[in-house]
Every structure is written in structure tokens, then in C-alpha cells.
Structure 1
Amino acid sequence: MNELKLLRFELFANEMKLDVDSRTLSKMYLNFLGECTFLIPGAIDILPYLKEKYTIIIITNGISEVQKKRLEKSKIKEYIDGIVVSEELKISKPNPEIFKYALKKFKCHNKSSALMIGDSLTSDILGGINSEIDTCWLNSNNIINHTNHIPTYEINTLLELKKLL
């Protein structure tokens, strides 16, 4: 992964004919990326409701330093019970091992009490399916699912979770 972080900036610098150190450029990029916090519409409204009833875990395929910094700076930090980052485990969604790790780490002994909510059919929903966990696809753009990854539930906004759960 570290090679990839540098290689993309080496390739970029070469393509743009820039005389820059790819390591410095990578560090700057990751630092700025960690400053950006983008919330899905409705997240700040639904999380207090969910937090009263459920343990909320983030499972992300992101870069650890970026994801943790984003969470620290985010308005939703107080509602999140934990984060599992693929870079730290060397396992990415949709591999069921990352879900197995998250369930064990946060003491969820019954898969039937877990729900994977995500906007990606190929990592979130397929990962939940591979892990035999119910899934809820956040289909904000109301697109047609042309994959074989069929979620247990489908919503268009996070606020629909109040009716679902």
C-alpha cells in the first residue's frame, strides 16, 4: 500500500513534468484529504436516533490516517462507537474477514442483530452478503441495480432507517 501511495504521485509528477518529491507530495495530499469531512445528507439527523438503540461502527476501505482524522474532525464523531480500517488489517471489503473482525471486536455475537448499511453494491452490500449479514443499500441516486448483489433492504435517504429499524 505504501508503494501505491508514492507511485501515484511519481506517475503524476512525471506526467506533469514536475520536479517534486513524491513522498512529500503524498504526505501533503493525505493531510489535506484528512481535513475533508463530507457527510451523507441526513446523517446528522439519523445518528442520534440510531445511537440510542444501536452500536454504530464504520468499516472503511480507506487509508487509516485519513479516515481517523476525518472522523475526529467530523460532526458525527460522538455517535460512532468504533472504526475498522482495511489498511490496518490488510483486508478490504467485500472480504468477509473484515466483517468478522468488526463483529468480534465490538462484541456482536449474533450476526442476525447486525446490519451493514452502505452505498456501494460491490464493497458494502457484497461484503455483508459474503458475511451472511443483512444489508441495507443506500441508493441515494435511485439507480437500477444491475449486479447480482441483492441487498436485504434498499433506501434512498438515511432518514428512511427510522421506518426500517
Structure 2
Amino acid sequence: MKYEIILFDADDTLFDFQKTAEKCFLETSEILGLPSEKENYAVYKDINQYYWDLYAIGKIEKDKILTLRFIDYGNKIGYEFSPNRFAKIYESKLSQTSILYPETVSVLDFFKNQGARLFLITNGTSHVQRGRIELSGIKDYFENIFISDEMKCSKPSKEYIQKVIDGIDGFKKSKALIVGDSQISDVQLAINSGIDVCFINHSGCTPTLPVTYEIKNLKQILEIF
């Protein structure tokens, strides 16, 4: 196999984060007596994505996202509630909910059987990501897990990828592949580091950044290798 080291993103790459987040959001809404329709989650989802995109380019600190997104959501739907309480319940539920894509384990097995070394690279809150990874049953596939919250830097920064490289013995860029769904964090990380990237294009949009490989879903990566 051309690649010896595979750097997998977590959310919306191996984990079905949209399904996870919607479930936890609606359950939290019910607890707090707020509207719990899918349309409400769609409003929150756009707000949340806006803030995480800002985080990826270093325009906002993660801790601010955790409450600002719910403040904006409350203002948008015209309901009063405690953003801090919503955030606390929601984050707790996220850490205890883990939904993988159906093909995730077979893809990880494939690369393992090919002799590749697997690593997880993710932007997120430490206790949430650690909890979900532990519950998922896939933790042991990875030699190491690099979480932005623990590293004090995030994808796609050069500081982040350098810490990843430094944390992997025998790392060679020519033998590494990044697999992820985000142009802002994963594809840009590949560009910043000179590492090949497999872009999972869930939306079917035309990529605005150069990619090495492009697939519609994780399962299609098996057709490439």
C-alpha cells in the first residue's frame, strides 16, 4: 500500500455526528421544555457550524463557542433559557452517545489488515470526544488520538499538524494520508502540511481546494485502495 500512516478525522468521517448531535440536541430541548422539532435542530446546526468554522481559522476560542451558539439559538427562536444549562446537558449527552457510520469498522479493518498505522485527528472538547471514542469500540484501532482541546491548537493550523507529526515515530509525509470531510479543517490541513488528502464530500459540492482523492462517503475509500 502506498500509505503507511492514515490520519482519520472523527466527526462526519468515522462518526455520524449529525445523527448524534440531533439526537442529543432534541433530548436536551425536551428536558428544558423547549421546542424539540427537527426544524429547530436545523436552526441550531447552522449556528453551530458557523462558530466551529471560525474556530478552525483561529477567529474564536472553543470555550466561547460552547455557550455563544445557544445564546444565538435562543435569540433566533425567541425563547428564553439558560445557555449554560443547555450547554452542560447537551455536552454530557454528547459524551455518552456514539454513532458510527455502518462502514466505519470494515474500513478500519481494511487498513489495519493492509499494515497501515491509524491515528485519529479531531477538533473538539476532550471529555466529549474521549467519551464517544471509548463507547464506540474503535479506540484500539488507533496508535494515538490527537484532540485539539488537549493540544491547545486546532486543525488546520501548522502548529497542530506539527504536533501530530512529532507525536508519530517514523512519520514520513509521502507515506501519510489525511481522511476527512471538511475543506476548512481537513483539506486545508493537508495543504498546510504537504500531505495527501482523501476528501469525503457528503454534500456533493464542487471542492474549492485541491484534493488528492474525492469520495461521496467513507465506504468508497475501499474502491480507491
TM-score range, shorter chain: 0.7 to 0.9
Following superposition of structure 1 onto structure 2, how do residues 123-138 of structure 1 map, counting pairs within 5 Å?
Answer: 123-138=185-200
CA deviation digits over 1:3-45, x for unaligned, max 9? Answer: 4424444566675223x4x544432221101122232341121
Q: 1:97 to 1:41 in 2, by over 3 A?
A: farther
1:119 maps to what in 2? 181
Letter of the structure 2 residue corresponding to residue 16 of structure 1: Y
CA deviation digits over 1:74-106, x for unaligned, max 9? Answer: 032232222111122222211122122112212
**CA RMSD in angstroms, aligned pairs only:** 2.3
Of 213, 218, 221, 1:153 maps to 213
Structure 2 residue runs of 5 or longer lacking an equivalent are 1-61
Kindly indicate whether structure 1 or structure 2 has the higher relative contact order, using CA contacts under 8 Å at least 6 residues apart.
2
The share of aligned pairs that are identical, in percent, is 34
| SS in structure 2 of the partner of residue 92 of structure 1 | coil
1:71 matched to 2:116? The reply is no
Structure 1 residue ranges, 4+ long, deviating more than 6 angstroms after superposition:
none
Of 62, 72, 79, 2:124 maps to 62
Q: 1:139 to 1:2 in 2, by over 3 A?
A: closer
| SS in structure 1 of the partner of residue 137 of structure 2 | coil
Of 90, 93, 96, 1:29 maps to 90
Letter of the structure 2 residue corresponding to residue 161 of structure 1: I
- Displacement of 1:109: 2.5
2-side partners of 1:158 and 1:110: how far apart?
Answer: 24
| SS in structure 2 of the partner of residue 5 of structure 1 | helix
2:111 maps to what in 1? 50
2:66 maps to what in 1? 5
Deviates more, 1:23-32 or 1:90-99: 23-32
CA contact 1:125–1:135 (8 Å) conserved in 2: yes
| SS in structure 2 of the partner of residue 36 of structure 1 | coil
Structure 1 residue runs of 5 or longer lacking an equivalent are none
Q: How high is the TM-score relative to the length of structure 1? A: 0.83
